[in-house]
């Protein structure tokens, strides 16, 4: 895997929904990966919005995004990040993105502005 960026669900959803910051995500997309945890968040949101499974799969396949399985090392890092991120209210998905970024020494790409206050040894780029 050669990537410089790990997408948070919020970043990918901004692209899929043509929201503010989607142009930034599009520019980083060829150099990005996503965790299966964050992929599940994206699929969940699109499903809740009423998008049929076939369209969800097609939209995500067309992006050509590399999907990284959530493994034991990421599980430990995700759990250990809780102590640092709990005061900011970060979710399991948020921490999974950050754990993958830590593991791959990549930059986490997110729309979640509260991440700017994190100091956990990972670079964070806000898309808006």
Give the chain's domain count: 1
CATH number for 105: 3.40.50.1010
Which pLDDT value is given to residue 2?
Answer: 55
Which pLDDT value is given to residue 25?
Answer: 97
The DSSP symbol for 112 reads -
Which pLDDT value is given to residue 3?
Answer: 72
Q: Which residue range is the domain that position 47 belongs to?
A: 5-126
Tokens 């990005």 locate to: 32
- Which residues are registered as beta bridge partners of 126? 110
**pTM for this structure?**
0.94
Query: Are residues 81 and 89 in contact, defined by beta-carbon separation less than 8 angstroms?
Result: no
In the chain, where do the E strands start and end?
A: 5-7, 32-35, 66-68, 107-110, 124-126
Task: Write out the chain's pLDDT in tens, 128 residues.
Answer: 557 999 999 999 999 999 999 999 999 999 999 999 999 999 999 999 999 999 999 999 999 999 999 999 999 999 999 999 999 999 999 999 999 999 999 999 999 999 998 999 999 999 99
């Amino acid at each position: 895997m050669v990537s410089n960026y790990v997408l948070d669900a919020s970043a990918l959803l901004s692209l899929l929904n043509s929201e503010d910051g989607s142009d930034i995500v599009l520019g980083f997309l060829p150099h990005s990966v996503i965790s299966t945890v964050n992929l599940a968040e994206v699929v969940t949101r699109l499903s809740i919005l009423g998008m049929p499974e076939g369209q969800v799969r097609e939209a995500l396949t067309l992006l050509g995004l590399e999907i990284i399985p959530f493994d034991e090392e990421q599980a430990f890092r995700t759990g250990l990040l809780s102590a640092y991120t709990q005061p900011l209210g970060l979710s399991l998905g948020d921490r999974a993105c950050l754990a993958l970024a830590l593991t791959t020494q990549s930059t986490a790409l997110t729309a979640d502005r509260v991440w700017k206050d994190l100091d956990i040894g990972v670079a964070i780029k806000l898309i808006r």
